[in-house]
Amino acid sequence: MLIYKILRAAEWQALDATGETAGAPIDVADGYIHFSTALHVRETAAKHFAGEDGLMLAAFESDDMGDALKWELARGGVEFPHLYGPLRRKDVLWSCALPLVNGVHDFPRDME
């Protein structure tokens, strides 16, 4: 299953330059990397990145993350994928800009 990480421009640039990261400040504070499924990534963008432009969306294969990926209950009793380890650039299947259009993030139309 594909899972998604939204990164701010500086976070993406650091990941791209160094090959791995401990994530955004909230990831570091919580002790794991927050991901979203296709079903929840738009809600994540609206809730945690409202009005932010210059974002990147990165896709990962959950099955490739092994035991470091845990599915845990989060908001609304929904299970979200959390990675207990570094986010690695080599694990990115694809990435794209996530532009802000009329105040809403414009996601790729072919996301699963």
111, part of any domain: no
Question: Range of 14's domain?
Answer: 2-105
88, part of any domain: yes
Q: What is the pLDDT of residues 55-107, one digit of tens each?
A: 999 999 999 999 999 999 987 788 999 999 999 999 999 999 999 999 999 99
pTM of the shown model: 0.95
What CATH number has the domain bearing residue 77? 3.20.170.20
Q: How far is CA 90 from the centre of its chain?
A: 15
Q: What is the pLDDT of residues 14-48, one digit of tens each?
A: 999 999 999 999 999 999 999 999 999 999 999 99
d(CA 11, CA 76): 27
7, part of any domain: yes
110, part of any domain: no
22, part of any domain: yes
112, part of any domain: no
User: How many domains are contained in the chain?
Assistant: 1
